[in-house]
Amino acid sequence: MPEYKAPLRDMRFLIDNVFDFHGHYAALGATDASPDMVNAILDEGAKFCENVLAPLNRSGDEEGCHFDNGVVTTPKGFKQAFAQYVEGGWHGVAADPAYGGQGLPQSLGLVLSEMIGSSNTSWGMYPGLTHGAMSAIHAHGTAEQKDTYLGKLTAGEWTGTMCLTEAHCGTDLGLIKTRAVPQADGSYAITGSKIFISAGEHDMSANIIHLVLAKLPDAPAGTKGISLFIVPKFHADSGARNAVHCGSIEHKMGIKGSATCVLNFDGARGFLIGEANKGLNCMFTMMNHARLGTGMQGLCNGEASFQGAIKYANDRLQMRSLTGAKAPEKAADPIIVHADVRRMLLTMKAFNEGNRALAYFTAQLLDTAHLSNDAGQRQDAEDLLAFLTPICKAFMTDTGLEVTNHGMQVFGGHGYIREWGMEQLARDARIAPIYEGTNGIQALDLLGRKVLGSQGKLLRGFTKIVHKFCAANAEHPQFKAHVAQLDQLNREWGELTTRVGMAAMKNPDEVGAAAVDYLMYSGYVVLAYLWLRMALAALEQPDADFAKAKLATCDFYFKRLLPRTATHRAAVEAGSECLMSLPAELFGL
């Protein structure tokens, strides 16, 4: 298994030099997030992840979770690691101080979550889902609900889930059958079955708080009739067991240390959160948190894979360089001298560092949306978040999967062997493009709801940022060509959007046909902007080697990866006819 080391040098580069987290925190009044505090979180978080979580990653995969008549036990060491995590105060880093949290900005919590996910994706699912539940209760719960649940959740005594999916419906939540019947005491009897519930049952906390989508007896049809309910495993008032039980756990391709459960609600006592029939709005608070977290998983597994691949490429001897021996004292040269190995490693490096920048850029928007006293700033941040969230989720997980596959390929046959750990990273990464809304759904959300649904407003909010950046750097002596390339793509982005929108007015299938390629095109342009920001900051770095690596990777991105936009643009422009013309009954012929 690759030995994970938190990439603190690159993290600090983004925090200190590219995005100026310290000035950002000062502007928001987040005085507790001092430079010393930030450094302490980075250093101590890295130690915990490297020394406690990473050693459990392979063993957790090999052992998996155990199911015994409704009781789920996590792999050896998981429960003890969670207790250590809670004792160290990590669980409440970005939580509300009113409920026992440290009240630090959301971006610091996200930086910590990167280290957790990179060291042990499966283990990170447990606190990750809890943070999502906390955000939904904090945003939509009553004062009594907040007082009842948030303190215990923040302390890590209780954990949380979100329960959406049912066996007969995945993304189409309007089809759910789980029912909520009002009771005389103001509670509801929840009856139904949910599947694919991450952390739905386990032994790591004393209680599990489920956030469950269900329909009232008189609910309107479809998604307009969905309500959200808090359903605890054990009642908060009496401690008695509620009528919710785990029917089984899934036998999965990856993230085997994370319990993915079937949960059966048999008249379980639940409590309405938010307004009746407005549950999907409440759940989106949790889902958007989860989507950003899922996007991070693409980066996390990619980072772990790259660390394994770069070490192997420097150690493994195979053939001689085409330009002459580079290690003549050895039997062969290390494979890092070969152009194709470098292609894979630079692709991994470019996506990992670009996706990290995207995650941290988005995290700053979360801070502004939560902490700014300026209503205009908050709205601008929320609009950018709405636009970037599906890109983060889909682009980062698709490219993260590409990165982990490259990592296996660098190892050759050894990459396919369990003992080296690279195949686990690929298996763990494979779920990320699927859950929290498949990447196809994210693409429809981006193009259909966020871009066309806002008449282009949300897109323009970002393209204006890029336009101003390009105008300011158009004559930069070192990056003039790259800036011009970005500026052209940024203009083309709006034109491409207009063409899709016009075509969709005649045929709605045009949106579905274009969506995935449109999202990937968008992701490449977003990363190009961020890579140029990193390159400019790298020029000011006193560490010449770090700056050289950053500038070379930026150049590689613009010359070898950004041209992929041409393919995605061509696919968008191809339209829907070539997708929709073949009758369904002819697909098998």
Range(s) within the chain of domains with CATH label 1.10.540.10? 8-155
The class of domain 159-277 in CATH terms is mainly beta
> Topology of domain 8-155, per CATH?
Butyryl-Coa Dehydrogenase, subunit A; domain 1 (1.10.540)
Range(s) within the chain of domains with CATH label 2.40.110.20? 159-277
**Model confidence, pTM:** 0.97
Q: Among residues of the chain, what percentage have pLDDT more than 90?
A: 94
Q: Among residues of the chain, what percentage have pLDDT more than 70?
A: 99
What does the DSSP 8-state code read for residue 317?
A: B
* Nearest to 535, CA basis, from 519, 516, 554: 554
- Mean pLDDT of all residues belonging to the chain: 96
What does the DSSP 8-state code read for residue 437?
A: S
What's the pLDDT tens digit per position in 333-381?
Answer: 999 999 999 999 999 999 999 999 999 999 999 999 999 999 999 999 9
Whether the predicted pLDDT of 523 surpasses 90: yes
Amino acid letter for position 453: G
Segment 439-450 mean pLDDT: 97
Which pLDDT belongs to residue 440?
97
Whether the predicted pLDDT of 174 surpasses 80: no
- Chain-centre distance for alpha carbon 285: 14
Q: Where does the pLDDT of residue 288 fall: very low under 50, low under 70, confident under 90, or very high at 90 and above?
A: confident
Whether the predicted pLDDT of 404 surpasses 80: yes
What's the pLDDT tens digit per position in 52-88?
Answer: 999 999 999 999 999 999 999 999 999 999 999 999 9
CA atoms within 13 A on the CB side of 191: 8
Place of tokens 């070379």: 552
Whether the predicted pLDDT of 388 surpasses 90: yes
Which pLDDT belongs to residue 281?
81
Whether the predicted pLDDT of 463 surpasses 90: yes
* Those residues with Cβ within 8 angstroms of residue 242's Cβ, 6 or more apart along the chain or in another chain: 231, 232, 233, 234, 235, 268, 269
Question: In whole angstroms, what is the distance from residue 56 CA to residue 47 CA?
Answer: 14
Whether the predicted pLDDT of 285 surpasses 80: no
What does the DSSP 8-state code read for residue 327?
A: -
For residue 498, CA distances in Å to 54, 188, 491 come to: 47, 47, 11
Whether the predicted pLDDT of 527 surpasses 80: yes
SS3 content of the chain, % helix, strand, coil (to 5): 60, 10, 25
∠ CA 467-490-483 to the nearest 5 degrees?
Answer: 65
Q: Where does the pLDDT of residue 223 fall: very low under 50, low under 70, confident under 90, or very high at 90 and above?
A: confident
Which pLDDT belongs to residue 1?
73
Question: In whole angstroms, what is the distance from residue 402 CA to residue 341 CA?
Answer: 14
Place of tokens 């003992």: 419
Element (H, E) at 442: helix 439-444
Question: In whole angstroms, what is the distance from residue 569 CA to residue 500 CA?
Answer: 11
Phi, psi of 346 (to 5 degrees): -70, -35
Catalytic residues: 436
* Those residues with Cβ within 8 angstroms of residue 224's Cβ, 6 or more apart along the chain or in another chain: 174, 277
Question: In whole angstroms, what is the distance from residue 252 CA to residue 249 CA?
Answer: 9
Question: In whole angstroms, what is the distance from residue 201 CA to residue 383 CA?
Answer: 36
